[in-house]
Structure 1
Amino acid sequence: MKYVIFKRGELVVPVISSEDSIHALLGVGNGFKAVSAGFFYIDELGEVVIDESRIATSFRVKQYKQHDKRYLNYLIKGYTGHFFYDFEHICYPEVNE
């Protein structure tokens, strides 16, 4: 599966799509910036595994494997609210406004 992680201020929004979609066409709204993108699969234990053998190039952002995995797991497992905030701006530091 493909993913893009967007961020606006402290809010982090992961978006998952099928292999057939184009990364660059994914979006969530005004003011959000793509901070990471890539590919992943779900292992036999139901955990996200970032596929480092494939790289998304359309957004020209680097992959943050550890942070991406955490936010994708939160999304897949149905977490809500404060789990999707980066109050300390440590997850995607280059994008801070």
Structure 2
Amino acid sequence: MKNSLVSIQIIPKTKNGEDVISYVDAAIAVIEDSGVKYEVHPLETTMEGDLTELMNVIEKMNEKMIELGSRNVISQVKILYQPSGISMDQLTEKYK
């Protein structure tokens, strides 16, 4: 059972102050490639899965930013850890 929801906002420091949208797109591609369930929102992306797996995805996202030429990366992360299981739908179904 999936035990965590993790939201991340990734903020890469670009080489020459260029727009970060292509970097954010690449970070979301890392999530997509991981196979975890996720939803993109205007200011962050939320993933659903096992906490260890999701933290590994975040590590790969940060590594991708450096590969693309970012000098450093700020990752703002929110974690809901619930060993009995949790899903995005559980928290948002009443709003749909």
- TM-score, normalised via structure 1 length: 0.29
- In proportion to residue count, which structure has more helix? 2
- TM-score, normalised via structure 2 length: 0.29
Higher relative contact order (CA 8 A, sep 6+): 2
Which of the two has higher C-alpha Rg?
A: 2
